[in-house]
Structure 1
Amino acid sequence: MNVEEYEQVKILLEESFFKDEPLGSSSGEDIQKCNEELNDNFHRSMIEQEPSIVDSFAAEAFKAKDNIWGKIVTVQIKALREGNVYERYGVSKVLLSNMTTVVPSMRGKGLGTRLAAALMEIGRNKGFEVMIAFCTSFYSARQKRAMGMECIYSLAYAEYKDEKASSDEEFQKINGEEQFVLEDIKQGLSIVAVDATNSEQRIVGCTIAGAQHDGYLLELLKESSDDAEHSSWRNMLALFNKASTEANLHERYGVNQLLITDMTAVDASMRGRGIGARLTSALIELGRAKGFEVMVGFCTSFYSLRQKKALGMECIYEVAFADFLDANGDVVFKPPAPHTHFHLLAMRL
């Protein structure tokens, strides 16, 4: 699965997972609308840019769309997309020279050129194959060209119209659940099932999976909002973290990373054909090929529990939904029978 397929996967999850997944469907909230502020750490990640940086730029532009920073970022997004850097050079990351400055009293002494040359050398030593630069100044463009950099995209300021960042759906804030799914997909461990008889190659099933280190769920829980609007997502994180902690997963299996299958969804019209089991089997094989030693599955549904047990996964932790309480002592999740327990399953690969 790749990020380009996410829009199809998102529809599939909305129609075939969130509506009938026991925790989400019993919470009384629409999980897909539980918005959670993105924490982009934008400036901390400015040096090593992967293709997903375009989305980070977009999120920044949306949040600052009415000020000059948002407008500048929007221009940079346009350049990154239309310059098509990653495909052009066949790389998965680039070194980005985002801005260079020299104090007025020291200008004209070649400091800017020496800084750029030093950055190039660092880039080579760090294993980067390509360096790119945003040049909003005539002088910075002239300097970079003199150092051998090629102009691959230009735009006249007079031709750039004041576009509202919010007009692009990609700029919209997304909820915590969706961000979690996207981060999993970017790891390249999630799998889709495609209807080969359909000329449009319609996605009819998916399993969302990712690598998780010890403490990852606790980190997500700490970063999540604790207001009422986000309570469903936060409650699920709390349950998953409780299970992972009490099962002592990493110490139990003596590994630093686990392959986690977070959710599996199959289109309602395609159920009963073993697609869910085949997706899980494919994930097991992928996990082995990627060098994972252990795979873990979170099961909120009685049926997902039964399927994973049939594939050889062992239940190592369970808790009754009736026993999982909030700070006020109230039961958090009340799914209908036969979904009475949350189970955590695992298997050595």
Structure 2
Amino acid sequence: MKATKLLTTASIGAMLLGMSAAAHSAEWRYAHEEFEGDVQDVFAVAFKEHIEENSDHTVQVYRFGELGESDDIMEQTQAGILQFVNQSPGFTGALIPEAQIFFIPYLLPTDEETVLEFFDESKAINETFPELYAEQGLELLKMYPEGEMVVTVDEPIRTPDDLRGKNIRTMTNPLLSETYRAFGATPTPLPWGEVYGGLQTGIIQGQENPIFWIESGGLYEVSPHLVFTGHGWFTTAMMANKDFFDGLPEEDQELIREASEAAYDHTIEHIQGLAEESLEKIQEASDEVTVTRLDEDEIQAFRERAPQVEERFIEMTGERGQELLEQFKADLEAVSGE
């Protein structure tokens, strides 16, 4: 009888413990803009693994197209349907105009080591942007670079005059349109799902993306001439619905921050050398691909057109944008020594 009572007590205790754990566990939903194995997916999977290894929570990751386009997943996050989202400033710029700063050409260097140090040390990235995102109901957890931007076109180009008359796809971002207008092209905003077909049918004659995305999305198949203009890096941001995040217990908030840091470290390691690997895959897959790397004189012809984009950024964002730009430049000076 005593043994039975002890067993029953132990069983009830175990059941209650299990119920308690279940009550405190949750499935969180996280959507991003890329395909399986791409940079945002690498970040999301690393985040998911850290959460699940260190708690009873689970994370469901949704990749490009599973819940719609970039605008759709942002709306779902702001509505609380998704807890986490990874979206680049190329799309967030309509919501947070200051985020368009990443599309001022030749603001960021192309040297990988300097770029990575900038994202680690920048006050603009780590102090100013979280405040701007919070105003839109978003908890900014990490901003990180994915790779140098590369332009693909229907023929090799070396000068702004070569871009004249070409429809170049841009994200739905006003400042990016201004950049390509300054470069001599006709900017054509399109959602990602229409880009491959647009290039294939000639509706657009070019686009820009990091080289890994050009390889992953097969863009080189329909836009085979790759041009390295040195004008910037693709940046993205991982964030949470702020009401959700603020309503969590402190230990869960800390867990999410730790998972974001772990995912960031893993992703930064992943992108080092990724561009070279992706370019090799492209060249192995197609004999039609050409690679043009502009020299300093050729780059200067494009760089001379950057100030008008900078002026347009300040017009769009006002005093806050001016202050952010000044902080950006100070942060870059601190890491580059220039």
Same fold (TM over 0.5): no
TM-score (structure 2 length as normaliser): 0.26
TM-score (structure 1 length as normaliser): 0.25
Higher RCO (C-alpha 8 Å, min separation 6): 2
